[in-house]
Structure 1
């Protein structure tokens, strides 16, 4: 599996923007299949030797030396409290991932395969399950139910990542700027909280939605009601990898619709890879920033808000409102 995994990942980059998602499937003990976005995976190895480091949370199995780099390793089954984790011995495989500008490993019991799934076949999890089980989506492969994990939230919760990073006081709108709103689209609970924390400090109204289809429907409803979406929202901050509709496709649909085409779109993703820049340009996004640096995100957002404030000439926008994601 590990010999040609990276080659297969490279081949999958052509799926980006075509509303398809490649998932690495694995088990955590028992028969249940889980999935993670292939673009977050660097390689898969048989379980290497692990070195203990004092002070790590118990969910960390240790640190692995992966090609000369020390990589913290989480026992994924233990971290999500998977009921089938116990009684199946020690996990035998290490999935090395890269997202949010960091590299980390997850121990899993068995690696199954890579599958290519149409995004419209990937659905948000039941609302009651999303917060408790770290699910970001569910889909099917053949007769099997696939639970897609939000590994960003798993890592953030175990490592107690802060959601309230304080911005430089210099990052602020000028006095007298009109009230403005931002539409945030992200399927990750952690990412939504992080982005909202940044925008709250900029005194900006926030509408939160959890996938591209919800966002497009919302924008189309505004347009159909006679309200120009670009007058309500100074910008759209969208993740790329999401169920139902990815960020590339959302941007493409925005640019195709005459009532939405003038929206400013900032793509914000945990994925690494040179394909991001070319895809951002090809779908017509205005800007791209990698997750997660609150200061870089704030700088990009503030640049746009300042431009809108200058164009508005002091005219008021609708009062800010907050819409919670449906999943």
Structure 2
């Protein structure tokens, strides 16, 4: 398993580099061919390469991704290593160890009939090219098992917040900031009004739909030179919601934003990206997984609700019962301390194998 993990991590797969993702897909496909005994279908959509195996008529979807947030060259500063039971390297936790565990788990089964394995190449950037593929596959299945990393301590993820993304663009009017600033319309000042409006919007969504919504300004830019009234400003907003009602309320209120200055123009781009993964979508699957873990002597299995989203949000969103976080145990997704506890990899593979076996 560690040799396979090293092979995957050593093939960098930064989401924005489609050639790197395609090369990574080849490695994923070859590992799957060796361990599953079947050739993969390589699907390229919008330049992004995804890998799929279908065995018979799929009833259960096993879902993961092979792209990472780490730019090419990260291996020079974060090389793959295993020391004192800890594996490190770009993407080792999110989520290449999960792929290794999945392949080795399925290799334990006497038959793969009824399974679909889908490994996408753009999860880290919103799954724009793979969303339809994921949703169409999930609609035909009775359950989806997602090999994303576990929550703290190996807990499975039974609830995820939904995600929306927005870009606000303000168009003002440039002017010399020393000679005649009054002739300009300052886009930076205008965007600041909208930034401050996000707190009342959050409060309004909470009042309507209950707690849990976060609306976070992330990237902001304005202006061109230090002596010019900015003619354009831009603000990116990340929205996380616990329910569909909260997602709709936030969308309505953000799209209702209006210019503060009568001469300014405001344009709102974006909207809901991933629907919430409600705990009801995972309830029965988690109960089954917990019973399997107990029977195998793997200790009490825990569950967690998390703010991050995954492609499991899409499968649950189309009505497919979904259990997430079945992948690696470790910490540090997207961070310098990303790592996997290697001793947990075989029992997690065993858990997945017996869970799938109980479902077939």
TM-score range, shorter chain: under 0.3
Larger relative strand fraction: 1
More helix per residue: 2
Q: TM-score, normalised by structure 1?
A: 0.25
The two structures have a TM-score, normalised by structure 2, of 0.23
